[in-house]
Amino acid sequence: MEVCLGARTQDHRPTSGQVFHARLVAVPDHHEGVPGPPLHCCHPADYTRVPPKSRHSGGPIETPHVSRSPWYRHAMAIAPRTPEELLKDVKRLGELGSAELKALADASEIRKAPKGAPLFNEGQEAEGLWVVRTGEVKLTKSGKDGREQILYLARPGKVIVEGIRFDQGTYPASAVAMRAASAIVISNDFLYSLGERKPVLFKTLIDLRAHRSDRTLALVSDLSLRTVPARLASFLCTLVAMREAKGQDARNLVRDLTTETVAGRLGTVREEISRGLAYLERQGALSVSPDLIEVVDLARLEQIAYGPKKGSSSS
């Protein structure tokens, strides 16, 4: 399952009237193919462990002493699967016949990248369809001033579709390993050749690209039309909803991210994240401490994230 930051969906709307403890986490981006929580923000990297700083200093949101959840440890320690096993678990690819899946798997190539290194860079010739095998990869665009916008996070079983094209075009974004990662890639030449013989493959590839396009447009709308506090509130609401939908403990979201990484997910800078947390606390939605964010009024958080519900008066 994938969560696009700020995108409000019918399936992931949290229920009001609950109090819980939450830490800023990246949502497993669907992260399709791996059981457990997604965010994607998303999308599971051993982030640099440093002592928590002051309340809104821009330092890590998460305490360095929090233990990983059983799901997180399982997702990170899971043995690498074969290409065919990976492809079967991708929602839309899994609908192909066994012969097509085997052909795709046989044509795949395994690529590896150490932490911080790219699987591919923006502007390079697009190679084909990628599926993350181990680790975690962020799809990102960087400005000339060095600022970064994270488009989504991809974990084991997640497809990266930006390289699917048959016009000799280039990658529109970079894919960078957030921890040592590996992925399989199936070349565009092979995809085109197989698609000519099995047209259902072209439909599958179009569906994958369309799904990613929808997520990207939702992100663009979110970044251009909503304030940072609203994006941050939506981010927190989404985390809670995803955990609750999976029957997991919403009081202990253990995916730790620094405010800088959260800022990258939300299209802003870490100082704005700190100001956003302070604003949400002043509004009575949160209680913020150096290592914990307690949502004390989920209804108020929802209102800031999505606006007042129809038929209700805004406060």
Are 101 and 198 in the same domain? Answer: yes
Check residue 310 and give its pLDDT.
Answer: 66
C-alpha to C-alpha distance for 115 and 150, rounded to whole angstroms: 16
Mean pLDDT of the chain: 75
Helix H or strand E segment including 105: helix 98-107
* CATH label of the domain that carries residue 149: 2.60.120.10
More confident residue, 72 or 98: 98
Structural contact between residues 141 and 123, judged by C-beta atoms closer than 8 angstroms: no
- Domain that includes residue 55, residue range: 10-75+223-306
In a domain, 315, yes or no: no
In a domain, 301, yes or no: yes
Are 66 and 82 in the same domain? Answer: no
Worst-scoring range by mean pLDDT, 103-117, 169-183, 238-252, 277-291? 238-252
Detail the DSSP E strand segments found in the chain.
20-22, 109-113, 118-120, 128-142, 148-154, 159-160, 174-187, 286-289, 292-295
Closest of 20, 18, 15, 39 to residue 29, by C-alpha: 39
In a domain, 313, yes or no: no
Structural contact between residues 254 and 22, judged by C-beta atoms closer than 8 angstroms: no
Are 84 and 166 in the same domain? Answer: yes
Count of domains forming the chain: 2
Is a pLDDT exceeding 70 seen at residue 7? no
Domain boundary, last residue among 214, 234, 250: 214
Are 46 and 110 in the same domain? Answer: no
In a domain, 311, yes or no: no
What would you report as the CA-atom Rg of the chain, rounded to the nearest whole angstrom?
20
Query: Confidence band (pLDDT; 50, 70, 90) for 251?
Result: low
Domain boundary, last residue among 195, 214, 233: 214
More confident residue, 230 or 73: 230
Is a pLDDT exceeding 80 seen at residue 55? no
**Distance, C-alpha 312 to centroid of its chain:** 32
Are 46 and 149 in the same domain? Answer: no
Instruction: Report pLDDT digits (tens) over 111-125.
Output: 999 999 999 999 999
Check residue 122 and give its pLDDT.
Answer: 96
More confident residue, 38 or 243: 243
Check residue 134 and give its pLDDT.
Answer: 95
* CATH label of the domain that carries residue 286: 1.10.10.10
Query: Confidence band (pLDDT; 50, 70, 90) for 312?
Result: low
Percent of the chain at pLDDT exceeding 70: 70
In a domain, 147, yes or no: yes
Are 196 and 123 in the same domain? Answer: yes
More confident residue, 213 or 310: 213
Could you give the C-alpha distances from 88 to 20, 32, 81, 105, 242, in angstroms and in order? 36, 11, 11, 10, 24
Instruction: Report pLDDT digits (tens) over 21-52.
Output: 444 433 333 333 333 333 333 333 333 333 33
Check residue 11 and give its pLDDT.
Answer: 41
Are 91 and 60 in the same domain? Answer: no
In a domain, 314, yes or no: no
In a domain, 31, yes or no: yes
Are 203 and 258 in the same domain? Answer: no
For the whole prediction, is pTM greater than 0.85?
A: no
In a domain, 242, yes or no: yes
Q: Which residues pair with 118 in a beta bridge?
A: 176
Most confident residue range from 60-74, 96-110, 217-231: 96-110
